[in-house]
Amino acid sequence: MSESSKLTPSTPLNPRKRAIVIGASVGMGAALSRKLAKEGYSLALVARQKEKLDALCGEINAGGERLALAYPHDVSKYSEVPALLHKIVSDLGGLDVVVFLAGVNYPPGGNDKYNFENDRKMVEINLIGAMAWLTPVAEMFQSAKAGQIVGIGSVAGDRGRVANPGYNTSKAALHTYLEALRNRLTRHGVNVLTVKPGFVKTDMLKAAAGPTPFAIEPEKAADDIYKAMQKRRQTVYTPFFWAYIMQIIRHIPSFIFRRMSF
Amino acid sequence: MFNTFKRFENFGHSLNAPGYRILARATDDIRAAFDLAKKRGLTVAARGAGRSYNDASLNGGGIILDLSAMNLIQSWNPATGVVRAEPGVTLEQLWQKIEPDGWWPPVVSGTMKTTMGGCLSANIHGKNNFKMGTFGEHVIEFSAILPTGAEVTCSPKKNADLFHAMIGGYGMLGIFTSVTLQMKRLHSGLLSVDAYPAPNLRRHLFALQDGAPDHDYIVGWMDTFAGGSSLGRGQIHAARHLREGEDPKPQETMKLTNQILPPYIFGVFPKSLLHRFMKPFANNIGWRMVNLAKYVASLPKHTFRQSHAAFHFLLDYVPNWELSYGRGGLIQYQSFLPKETAESAWAEMLSLSQKRGMPAFLGVTKRHRPDKFLLTHAVDGFSLALDFKVTDATRPQMRDMLQEFDRIVVAGGGRFYFAKNSETTAETALAFYGEETVKKFKRLKKRCDPNGLLESDLYRRIFG
């Protein structure tokens, strides 16, 4: 990065919190980045697609103050993470929040189809990608005795279903991983928030197999996530009523569930 | 190194900037920190006691080189008053070592918690700036490690350019490893203090200027809430050292037990809890009452004797007093103005703060004279330090107001002190330092630190 791309300095009368958004370029990530910038955060935007990332960065910085910096990165390149994290935290001037949103969804293309390569990619990005980032972040926040980790899971991680075993697995494992981090870190003053969105109108939704009821705009999801962050909640569904829907779905007995088509 | 990430704050608790903490125990650790920074593409900033009101010892996302453990008094000669100390030695350690032998540091800050490294870096002044100058003027010699790894020794004659730039250079050129200082002889553990009121700003400044020649120390407290014809009113405390023979029992008054601040008020109440009881008063109405009561109490002119520690270290009188300002913390705004422009500039600033409903809670004035250091904050005039409480609701308005203050000060030929002010911009700094000074400093920076390893949040804000 060049010298001219320094962020607006944080002073007592113009304090900026510092967040990394991984998977920032489109959909929910872009909406949450816009929201956080408005709420007084300086941002490091991380995503694979450089053009979209630069466009979002330009949009956030258009107001005159330099609030966001772009870092093109593929989360499945795990070995790049520690050096990149050092650089980002140095550029941001600290770190308060890390949001992991990066995720892919490759449905196998039918309830009777199987595709290991796709399943593997989903686990590599949605789960191991998160672990690669959140491991050093957890270490930092534990040491600093402060910080907030936000992981974007999914209602799809609450139950293994016929349509997309690989995606369900990646998100269920992510939920468990975040829960374990929460149990480790709460005692060190660190909040770990698991977000479980229902259907959100993003590019990912277009690829989804089957019906997608109650789909919401990404901006609505971003507002919900921000509210949950402020309240330092542990788990939040967006929109909220998915909590009730999933409560029911989680309790459908297996002898029925394994015969269902969804 | 992710497990060395720690949260650091400024003294006023109004800023936080986490970084990787490296504790230096010896000079080799300082070199190792520079090597690590180079390898990881990070920067290094030094930190001692963390008593700066702003971002001088913060380095968000970089390495914080903690020098507080390098706190050895390497030598002390009670015959000559020359002391050699490591950078982490605090003023508290220093005066408690030398005072029983009949010596006192020539310049001290309002708190004794500051370190030698910090005092040198900020080139601190005390209530005797008009007479004794800054801390740096009493340095015989210092050693430092530059980011290049080179060790340098500087004195007013040897490496004079570095000597005058590193002192007051806020740790941006190198890391002090040892300093040799000349202490001042005492003939008593007590000072003779004259206290008298000043009914308005003009009389206040006149009292500082007029009282200075006959005293060793002079400081004013200002009632920042008083307006109209009483604007700038306050109380002057002018103190002088007792001459030989004035104190019948100097050995007795110089005993440490007669200097140390008592941990209780009224003999029973623990002062460590006091800041909690101050908290409900930390608002405009509460502090207006405190200021008024203080002014009324100051009206009778009187003279008394006070120990050195009690007179100098007012900020230590209530431990953790800064916590009483609450969650947003506090900021201090200190401006230095030539004696010709001080009255009009401060009248404008005080009226502005009262009109906007954001009065300072505390105002302190001092008398100053210029010095020869490169990044000097001193002028032939006065300084006024104002404490403001920071809240979420007033931040934007206060920011605007302080920018206006900056313009008033720069227009009046004034200066700022970077141990205090946290909102000064790079443009303002350039305006009062002058291009020549900034260029000279940057040339030295390039020479001492070609890879740009030494950077604090302050450095990036002012010179970045």
Contact A144 B18 (CB under 8 A): yes
Is the C-alpha dihedral spanning B260, B266, B270, B271 positive or negative? Answer: negative
ipTM: 0.92
Q: Choosing among A8, A11, A39, A66, which should be mutated to test the B contact, i.e. which has the most B CBs within 10 A?
A: A11
Nearest-by-CA chain B residue for A6? B464
Indicate the residue of A9, A95, A144 with minimum beta-carbon distance to B461: A9
Q: What was the pLDDT predicted at B259?
A: 86
Contact A93 B402 (CB under 8 A): no
B435 found inside a domain: no
Question: Which structure tokens are listed for A123?
Answer: 């686990």
Scan residues 68-87 of A and list those with Cβ closer than 8 Å to B: 82-83, 85-87
Contact B423 A12 (CB under 8 A): yes
Mean pLDDT of chain A: 94
pLDDT digits (tens, 9 = 90+) for A188-199: 999 999 999 999
- Cα–Cα distance, A131 to A133 (Å, whole number): 5
Domain C-terminal end among B150, B169, B185: B185
**Same domain, yes or no: B117 and B171:** yes
Q: What was the pLDDT predicted at B274?
A: 84
Instruction: Judge whether A73 and A130 are in contact, CB under 8 Å.
Output: no
**Same domain, yes or no: B177 and B217:** no
**Bond into A239 cis (ω within 30):** yes
Instruction: Judge whether B50 and B66 are in contact, CB under 8 Å.
Output: no
**Same domain, yes or no: B64 and B115:** no
**Same domain, yes or no: B26 and B144:** no
Min Cα distance A23 → chain B (Å) is: 22
Which CA distances in Å does A53 have to A37, A70, A117, B235? 15, 6, 27, 59
**Same domain, yes or no: B285 and B409:** yes
**Same domain, yes or no: B9 and B46:** yes
Contact B40 A93 (CB under 8 A): no
What is the DSSP code (8-state) at residue A9? P
**Same domain, yes or no: B395 and B364:** yes
Contact A12 B43 (CB under 8 A): no
CATH of the domain at B407: 3.30.70.2520
B439 found inside a domain: no
B381 found inside a domain: yes
CATH of the domain at B79: 3.30.465.10
**Same domain, yes or no: B46 and B93:** no
Instruction: Judge whether B147 and B454 are in contact, CB under 8 Å.
Output: yes
In chain B, how many H helices and how many E strands?
A: 15, 21
pLDDT digits (tens, 9 = 90+) for A107-127: 998 889 999 999 999 999 999
Burial of B242 (0-12, 13-18, 19+ CB in 10 A): middle
B92 found inside a domain: yes
Q: What was the pLDDT predicted at A209?
A: 66
Domain that holds residue B306: 190-426
Q: How far apart are the first and last CA of chain B?
A: 26
B202 found inside a domain: yes
B433 found inside a domain: no
Q: What was the pLDDT predicted at B240?
A: 96
Least confident of A122-131, A151-160, A205-214, B309-318: A205-214
Q: What was the pLDDT predicted at B464?
A: 79
The CATH architecture to which A14-254 belongs is 3-Layer(aba) Sandwich (3.40)
Indicate the residue of B2, B6, B18 with minimum beta-carbon distance to A136: B2
Question: Which structure tokens are listed for B347?
Answer: 């009248």
CATH of the domain at B455: 3.30.43.10
Burial of B4 (0-12, 13-18, 19+ CB in 10 A): middle
pLDDT digits (tens, 9 = 90+) for A241-250: 999 999 999 9
Q: What was the pLDDT predicted at A2?
A: 37
Indicate the residue of B3, B12, B457 with minimum beta-carbon distance to A93: B457
Q: What letters, b where the CB count within 10 A reaches 16 and e where it falls short, cover A5-37?
A: eebebbbbbebbbbbbbbbbbbbbbbbbbbbbb
Question: Which structure tokens are listed for B83?
Answer: 């002391």
- Given a cut of 80, whether residue A144 has pLDDT beyond it is yes
Q: What was the pLDDT predicted at B341?
A: 97
**Same domain, yes or no: B308 and B290:** yes
**Same domain, yes or no: B249 and B299:** yes
Contact A13 B396 (CB under 8 A): yes
Min Cα distance A197 → chain B (Å) is: 31
**Same domain, yes or no: B77 and B63:** no
B320 found inside a domain: yes
- Cα–Cα distance, B448 to B146 (Å, whole number): 6
Indicate the residue of B7, B55, B328 with minimum beta-carbon distance to A145: B7
Indicate the residue of B5, B16, B422 with minimum beta-carbon distance to A143: B5
Q: What was the pLDDT predicted at A4?
A: 45
Domain count, chain B: 3
pLDDT digits (tens, 9 = 90+) for B54-76: 999 999 999 999 999 999 999 99
Q: Cβ of B75: how many Cβ atoms within 10 Å?
A: 11
B272 found inside a domain: yes
pLDDT, averaged in runs of 10, over chain B (464 residues): 95 94 97 97 97 95 98 98 98 96 96 97 97 98 97 97 97 97 96 95 96 94 95 96 93 89 78 84 87 87 93 87 88 97 97 95 96 95 96 94 97 95 94 96 97 96 88
pLDDT digits (tens, 9 = 90+) for A52-86: 999 999 999 998 889 999 999 999 999 999 999 99
What is the DSSP annotation of B240-306? Answer: EEPPTTTSS-HHHHTSGGGTSPPSEETTTEEGGGHHHHHGGG-SHHHHHHHHHHHHHHH-S-EEEEE
Contact B15 A90 (CB under 8 A): no
Q: What was the pLDDT predicted at A5?
A: 60
What is the DSSP annotation of A78-96? Answer: GGGHHHHHHHHHHHHTS-S
**Phi/psi class of residue A65: alpha, beta or left (left: φ > 0; alpha: ψ in -120 to 50)?**
beta
